[in-house]
Amino acid sequence: MAGSISRLNRSTTARRVTQDPAWVRWILITVALGFLGLFLFVPMAAVFAEGLRRGFGPYFDSFCNPDAIAAIRLTLLVAVISVPFNLVFGVAASWAIAKFQFPGKSLLITLIDLPFAVSPVISGLIFVLLFGLQGWFGPWLYEHDLKIIFAVPGIVLATIFITFPFVARELIPLMQSQGNDEEYAALTLGANGWQTFRRVTLPNIKWGLFYGVILCNARAMGEFGAVSVVSGHIRGKTNTIPLHVEILYNEYNFVAAFAVASLLTLLALVTLALKSFVESRSHRIQRYES
Amino acid sequence: MISFFSAKEQSALPGFRITLGYAVLYLSLIVLIPLSAAFLKTATMTWPAFVHAVTSPRVLASYRLTFGASLIAALINTFFGLLIAWVLVRYRFPFKKIIDASVDLPFALPTAVAGIALAAIYAPNGWIGRWLELWNGSYLCKSLGTGSHALLGKLSTWTGGHSLPAFLPSDFTIKAAYSPLGVLIALTFIGLPFVVRTVQPVLEDLEQELEEAAGSLGANRWQTFRRVLLPPLYPSLLTGFTLAFARALGEYGSVVFISGNMPMHTEITPLLIITKLEQYDYAGATAIAVVMLVTSFALLLVINLLQKWSLQKLRGR
């Protein structure tokens, strides 16, 4: 009885001591929301407002333009190629890093993060230095009539570089926290390596994998700086959606520029929705397990 | 090779050599070899040519703008990031979940879209730029009306006898787009999530007992915040600041639309690299790129050390 009373007292005083006065709360919430509004919500609203300035007709016309269709198609193609490449790499790298001990492991983890530290413009530049006409392989490529820079392969390469760490970064800490016990159990029960991975590891990491893939995909479809350096901006051929937006904007075709940009904004919103869905999902699993 | 075998002995799981081999090969082909191309390209330059390329006045002006604006943007984001993280962790208000999720928007939104959206808003005829444009000297005089002369006289005595226009010229305007302020706005936008996302988990894990103890020992809320709550947040604040700063240094897409790209004035370093490339000055572009790469790698090292520090600090408590 005495114990419960003292606990009751403690919780009421605790609430008073650790809670801010109402006016402080309201000021802080207002300032935070004001800042977010100014920098996030107003720009997002502006994309749709500018795109719909002349109504729905011109808005939808912007997508029927052949150059816009070519840009959308190229962006999808680039994402479809580059995401699986980084997915396979992410799974392989995190398997080696999380399940085994070897020297140089932390160096490898740092090197995997390297592309995040490189400016997008430089990410494009290095591929120009390799495959451009003045680059290392430039003359050889020219002789064999192969084009990488100012063509689709260059765009794919730059995108792979930019989105390189996304999947590995999500999977490495996740697999490290899960340990090897379940895999050992599967092997002892007679499963081979591939079966162990498919039936035991994969179900454990599926949400982390999905999380990495959606972030990787969003960046692959939206990358601008790196792609801009290697693409050559050939209309209908090497323009991705962000580059198409840039061209329309620089031609003062604002309605079309913002209409196409709203497509990428929707992609970002869907990505965020999926992201918070996955987060709530994995939180629930963690809570259930603990 | 010997160490590889010993690694195999430690873990009975299969697939070590093939996955590690593939990872290292892929990493080398996609990241390491291309990056080394930049360094090897500058190695072919003579030292004076390199120094000339990376220290010409136009390049120096771009460093000043890029580093200065990135620094200020990261500071703004540290302050508001802490505030936003605090509000999201401690208070309850409507639509909190949606607002929490939307903090990541600058990560998800393509930079070109952010660039044109910010340019449209902060341009002289834009939603916000319009109001900033109004905020100028002549508007102030007009709005003060007929009494303005008397007031101006008074003001000039306050300012030590100088006439007011010396301090507030009538053509004084706040220009957001197409000025260094525009660069700052764009860099603040793209760095926004970093501090929030590094501080938020630490703030969630802080034990209430410390706060209660401080409170019951007679500290007021502000003292508790400054002496008890803030110190454990320093490592994450510093990590978030460095991440935002590093990201801002290399940013291109969101800046070029709002900055106006005037050489010596609003030209950022990544844009200068592209300009040099378009003039087929590959050596010059690569030399500037190497300076930026070295800076970024140094920052990456700092970030890694900071993260180790904050882990130690968390475990030590």
What domain range includes position B80? Answer: 38-129+181-316
Give mean pLDDT, residues A41-61.
92
| CB < 8 Å to A221, chain B | 110
Residue in B31, B104, B289 nearest the CB of A272:
B104
Domain assignment present for residue B168? The answer is yes
pLDDT tens digit sequence for B219-271: 888 888 888 889 889 889 999 999 999 999 999 999 999 988 888 888 999 99
What domain range includes position A46? Answer: 1-51
Give the distance from residue B13's alpha carbon to the nearest chain A alpha carbon, in angstroms.
7
Determine the residue among B6, B10, B13 to mutate to test chain A binding: the one whose Cβ has the most chain A Cβ atoms within 10 Å: B13
How many domains, in total, are found in chain A? 2
Tell whether A118 and A4 lie within a shared domain: no
Kindly determine whether residue A43 and residue B41, on different chains, have CB atoms separated by under 8 Å.
no
Kindly determine whether residue A43 and residue B101, on different chains, have CB atoms separated by under 8 Å.
no
Kindly determine whether residue B215 and residue A18, on different chains, have CB atoms separated by under 8 Å.
yes
Tell whether A258 and A139 lie within a shared domain: yes
Tell whether B105 and B164 lie within a shared domain: no
Tell whether B162 and B264 lie within a shared domain: no
Tell whether B276 and B147 lie within a shared domain: no
Last residue of a domain, one of A20, A36, A51: A51
Kindly determine whether residue A261 and residue B121, on different chains, have CB atoms separated by under 8 Å.
no
Tell whether A37 and A106 lie within a shared domain: no
pLDDT above 80 for A209: yes
Kindly determine whether residue A272 and residue B289, on different chains, have CB atoms separated by under 8 Å.
no
For residue A113, count CB atoms less than 10 angstroms from its CB and return exposed for 0-12, middle for 13-18, buried for 19 or more.
Answer: middle
Instruction: Give the Cα separation of B29 and B32 in Å (integer).
Output: 6
pLDDT tens digit sequence for A108-155: 998 998 999 899 999 999 999 999 888 888 888 988 888 888 999 999
Instruction: Give the Cα separation of A197 and A257 in Å (integer).
Output: 46
A8 to chain B, any CB pair closer than 8 A? The answer is no
Tell whether B166 and B234 lie within a shared domain: no
Kindly determine whether residue B221 and residue A36, on different chains, have CB atoms separated by under 8 Å.
no
Tell whether A159 and A254 lie within a shared domain: yes
Tell whether A61 and A41 lie within a shared domain: no
Residue in A113, A120, A258 nearest the CB of B116:
A258
Search chain A and give the residue with CA nearest B221. A20
A121 to chain B, any CB pair closer than 8 A? The answer is yes
| CB < 8 Å to A132, chain B | 282
Tell whether B231 and B214 lie within a shared domain: yes
Tell whether B286 and B149 lie within a shared domain: no
Tell whether B219 and B83 lie within a shared domain: yes
CATH number of residue A137's parent domain = 1.10.3720.10
pLDDT tens digit sequence for B281-295: 999 999 999 999 999
A187 to chain B, any CB pair closer than 8 A? The answer is yes
CATH number of residue B291's parent domain = 1.10.3720.10
pTM of the model: 0.86
Q: ipTM value, please give it.
A: 0.87
Instruction: Mark B216-243 as b/e (b = at least 16 C-beta within 10 Å).
Output: eeebebeebbeebbeebbebbbbbbbbb
Domain assignment present for residue B13? The answer is no
Domain assignment present for residue B298? The answer is yes
Kindly determine whether residue B112 and residue A14, on different chains, have CB atoms separated by under 8 Å.
no
